[in-house]
Amino acid sequence: MEKETQSEPLVSVIVPLHNEPEKYFKKCIASAREQTLADIEIIVVDDGSTSGIETLADRFASEDGRIRVFHRENGGVSSARNLGIAEARGKYISFLDADDWIDEDILRKAYDAAEKDGLDIVAWGTVREYGDKSVLCATPSYLRENTRYEGDACEELRLATMDLAAPLSSPFGKIVRRVCLTENELYFDEGLKNYAEDFEWSFRLFGAVRRVVILSDCAHHYVYNPSSLTSRITAEKAASSVVCIEKLRSSIAGMPHEEMFLKAVDYRYLFMLSAIAISGFFHPCNRIKYREKKKQFRAFVAQDAVKATLRSPSRKGLSFARRTVIFCMRHRWCFVLRILASIRYRGKKAA
């Protein structure tokens, strides 16, 4: 057994867990345990798992005194992360999804950088893992790596939380000074249980911090897991997206550069809407009857927040494939969306 953690570890790594496959969870925890920054704690929040993975989490805790496991009834990833924040003792907090993993030296690099310059956040890039294929997600050129963003310059980073290509829109891939979260009450919206909670939280986070650095390292490995929450978009998650967007638009109203932020929100939501249609309502694994799919879809796109986004000029910046999906959504072409979803599904299975 490894030595017990300090009473105040340097970094708390929060891992929400809900029935993830064992092979992913093992690699996730191993990547945290093998960090060159040893003075950490690993907080596993078992969010009502029933697959037996919760027993494995307890076994890990018995092997390593730095691991603490909290079992609770299923309440969604937002409340699981909030419990982790409440229980964290580290000077910094980092989030790690249970089916992802991180490079062994990233917490050391991030901690050293944060302590050197008194930073609130140190972020890093991502590698997407598709089985035997790894895709490096380089930081967009408009963001400056290894350079301190300070004060009003952090507004640029707040805008970048709407950019899927930027390493800022997800809770993972960064360390955050814990007092920044607690003093600013930066908790996850528990009404957004498992969808859209990530970038809504990130948008609020980067509005509160004052010193940030983005490292050039791509050290977070995002694993494409077909059984994960993000790969299955339900009608409930689609409804959650509407709540999220309405909340964001309300918070932006009256802000400096309001129009710029609203355009960025529209662009991000257009991405989500195309995924909701293709990976949600019309996904081949969605087993409800086609007639019911159409009914649910048409009720969804009839909502004011959705209609306004589908008409947004921001759609012109999308890829041709996504513009095609958005066009079909605007015109309620359910049969075409069904075909597009099937083509995409077969393509992913063959990849």
- CATH class, 11-223 region: alpha beta
Distance separating alpha carbons of residues 84 and 125, to the nearest angstrom: 23
CB 169 within 8 A of CB 202: yes
Instruction: Say which residues have a Cβ less than 8 Å from residue 257's Cβ, sequence separation at least 6.
Output: 155, 159
Query: Which pLDDT tens digit goes with each residue over 298-351?
Result: 999 999 999 999 999 999 989 999 999 999 999 999 999 999 999 988 876 665
Q: At what angle do helices 235-252 and 290-301 cross, to 10 degrees?
A: 10
Nearest to 271 by CA among 318, 233, 221, 217: 318
pLDDT at 130: 86
Position 4 pLDDT exceeds 50: no
Domain boundaries, the chain: 11-223, 232-350
Distance separating alpha carbons of residues 224 and 222, to the nearest angstrom: 7
Q: Please provide the size of the chain in residues.
A: 351
Beta bridge partners of 213: 122
Nearest to 142 by CA among 127, 129, 150, 153: 153
CB 13 within 8 A of CB 72: no
Dihedrals φ, ψ of 325, to 5°? -65, -45
Average pLDDT, the chain: 92
Query: Which pLDDT tens digit goes with each residue over 205-252?
Result: 999 999 999 999 999 999 986 555 445 678 888 999 999 999 999 999
> At which residue do the structure tokens 């350079």 appear?
147
**CA angle, corner 174, sides to 116 and 56, nearest 5?**
120
Distance separating alpha carbons of residues 125 and 91, to the nearest angstrom: 22
Give the DSSP per-residue string, 161-191.
Answer: TT-TTSTTSSSBSEEEEHHHHHHTT----TT
Amino acid 121 reads I
Query: Which pLDDT tens digit goes with each residue over 142-168?
Result: 999 999 999 999 999 999 999 988 889
Give the DSSP per-residue string, 236-255.
Answer: HHHHHHHHHHHHHHHHHTT-
User: What would the 3-class secondary structure string for 310-342 be?
Assistant: HCCHHHHHCCHHHHHHHHHHHCCCHHHHHHHHH
| Beta pairing, strands 92-95 & 174-177 | antiparallel
Amino acid 57 reads A
Distance separating alpha carbons of residues 168 and 348, to the nearest angstrom: 26
pLDDT at 350: 61
Instruction: Say which residues have a Cβ less than 8 Å from residue 206's Cβ, sequence separation at least 6.
Output: 121, 154, 157, 158, 160, 161, 168, 212
pLDDT at 349: 64
Instruction: Say which residues have a Cβ less than 8 Å from residue 185's Cβ, sequence separation at least 6.
Output: none
| Assigned token pair, 314 | 């921001």
How distant is the alpha carbon of residue 322 from its chain centre? 21
Whole-structure pTM value: 0.91
Spell out the alpha helix ranges (H) of the chain.
22-33, 53-63, 77-87, 106-117, 154-160, 178-183, 197-205, 235-252, 258-276, 290-301, 304-310, 320-330, 334-350
Query: Which pLDDT tens digit goes with each residue over 6-52?
Result: 478 999 999 999 999 999 999 999 999 999 999 999 999 999 999 99
pLDDT at 5: 46
